[in-house]
Amino acid sequence: MYDCNNITIKGRYFVKHVFIVNPVSGKTDARTTLLPKISAEAERLGLDYEVRCTEYKGHAIKMAQEYGEVREPARLYAIGGDGTINELITGAHTYKCLEVASVPCGSGNDFVRSFGSVEDFLDIPDLIAGTAITIDLIKTNRGIAASICSMGMDAAIAYGIPKFRRIPFCGGTMAYQLSIIQTICGRMGYDMRVTLDDKITLTDRYLIATVCNGVAYGGGYRASPNADLQDGMLEVIVVKRMSRLRCMDVLNNYYKHGKHLVNDKVSPKISDVMSYYKAKKITMTALDTHTPIVNVDGECGPAREFTAEVMPSAARFVLPKKLFDAFEGEKEQFIRV
């Protein structure tokens, strides 16, 4: 196993590269699968680099703040899942000297899907040669989010997955499917009030109310297939209560295929139960005695009110070189920093 004591190698690169590993993220320990490759590439390039491992929840936030207080340029690599990225971005976004990169090896790896494939970000030489762009974040009453937040059934499904993962031979997909069955057999929807930019107020019994900065969540389910992390807006999708039979079909399209939205409009097949909006500020409030589950970048828990507001150009995120070159040529709004 790779030794995660702090290792510093001085080299010809001015920016420090810090590889921060979450050893309990995903199915395998990245210290044995990825770190040897990363270390070999860093030494080959003569990088000034460090390797560190997180030891508890929230540790990556503190690490990022430590490097920020030094006030010297540093690139922090999240070697883990979406939770590790969230922690590094939470700790780093207030420091202009810091940028965050991702080596996705968690269970979901959804955040990077807003830019390309997981495999794109696992090309270590290409990632090290990459360039940072500015991205929007979401400020919520439950912390900073980078990708997607939600209230309702989808959050309840995610909340229930850990229980099923404790069952022997019950992997990620099976645990997810069992949690879906459990949730659909339970309460169908919550009476909610959703307020958008203090101008539009929606009141109904909703299965799901989702706030999207990124494209995917839940292990690749494309909630907002055209989401743009640089447009200064959040995409909001609300789904009304419906029969359990229809719910399975709607959720399959909503999650798996991203076919619920066509040219920024809800598909006519489900427009009676789903609505789509863009806003900068959102408030969701439970109106009955039942408390829904809220999801913030995969961290779930019960809450009766949830607030979210876009933070334009709030963080710097590194795209691998090939992806950055493609975005620079095809998508002019991606801003180089």
Partners of 79 in beta bridges: 21, 103
Q: Is residue 2 part of a domain?
A: no
pLDDT 10s digits, 76-89:
999 999 999 999 99
Question: Does 67 share its domain with 83?
Answer: yes
Residue 147 CA to residue 250 CA, distance in Å, equals 22
Rounded mean pLDDT, 323-336: 67
Q: Is the pLDDT of residue 2 over 50?
A: no
Question: What confidence tens digit (pLDDT) does each residue in 190-201 have?
Answer: 999 999 999 999
Q: Is the pLDDT of residue 256 over 70?
A: no
Structure tokens at 229: 């992390």
Two tokens at 109?
Answer: 């790896």
Same domain, 133 and 66: yes
Residue 5 covered by a domain: no
> Do 200 and 250 sit in the same domain of this protein?
yes
CATH of the domain at 202: 2.60.200.40
Percentage of the chain lying above the pLDDT 70 cut = 89
Report the mean per-residue pLDDT for the chain.
87
| pLDDT value for 148 | 95
One domain, residues 156 and 128: no
Q: How far apart are CA 100 and CA 307, in angstroms?
A: 25
pLDDT at residue 134 is higher than 80:
yes
Q: Considering the domain boundaries, does residue 296 fall inside one?
A: yes
pTM metric for this prediction: 0.89
Same domain, 153 and 90: no
- The yes-or-no verdict on residue 14 having pLDDT over 60 is no
pLDDT in tens, 135-145: 999 999 999 99
pLDDT at 205: 95
Query: Looking at the structure, do residues 107 and 197 belong to the same domain, yes or no?
Result: no
Q: Does the pLDDT value for residue 333 go beyond 90?
A: no
R_g (Cα) of the chain, nearest Å:
20
Confidence of residue 6 (pLDDT cuts 50, 70, 90): very low
Give the pLDDT band (50/70/90) at residue 9.
very low
Look at residue 260 in the predicted model and tell me its pLDDT: 85
Q: Do the domain assignments include residue 11?
A: no
Whether pLDDT at 297 is above 50: yes
What letter represents residue 125's amino acid? P
Q: Give the range among 40-49, 53-62, 215-224, 238-247 with minimum mean pLDDT.
A: 215-224
Based on the fold, state whether residues 169 and 115 are members of the same structural domain. no
The predicted structure's pLDDT at residue 285? 97
Is pLDDT at 71 greater than 70 in this prediction? yes
In a domain, 149, yes or no: yes
Work out the average pLDDT over 119-124. Answer: 95
Structural domain includes residue 109: yes
- What's residue 147's pLDDT? 95
More confident residue, 27 or 332: 27
pLDDT in tens, 19-70: 999 987 766 777 788 888 889 899 999 999 999 999 999 999 999 999 999 9
Residues 229 and 295 in one domain: yes
Of residues 217 and 107, more confidence is placed in 217
> Is the predicted pLDDT of residue 249 greater than 90, yes or no?
no
pLDDT tens for each residue of 144-171: 999 999 999 889 988 887 787 778 767 6
CA distance 15 to 97: 10
User: What is the domain extent for residue 54?
Assistant: 16-137+314-330
With respect to residue 212, please indicate whether it lies within any of the assigned structural domains.
yes
Based on the fold, state whether residues 154 and 113 are members of the same structural domain: no
- Whether the CB-CB separation of 39 and 66 falls below 8 Å is answered with no
Q: Which residue has the higher pLDDT, 73 or 335?
A: 73
Q: Report CA dihedral (60, 62, 67, 71) to the nearest 10 degrees.
A: 140
- Residue 236 pLDDT greater than 90, yes or no: yes
pLDDT value at residue 12: 43
Question: What percent of the chain lies above the pLDDT cut of 90?
Answer: 60
Structural domains of the chain, count: 2
Q: What is the separation of C-alpha 161 from the centre of its chain, rounded to a whole number of angstroms?
A: 17
CA 70 – CA 32 distance, rounded (Å):
30
The mean pLDDT of 83-105, rounded to a whole number, is: 96
Residues in the chain: 337
Give CA–CA dist 70/95, Å, rounded. 10
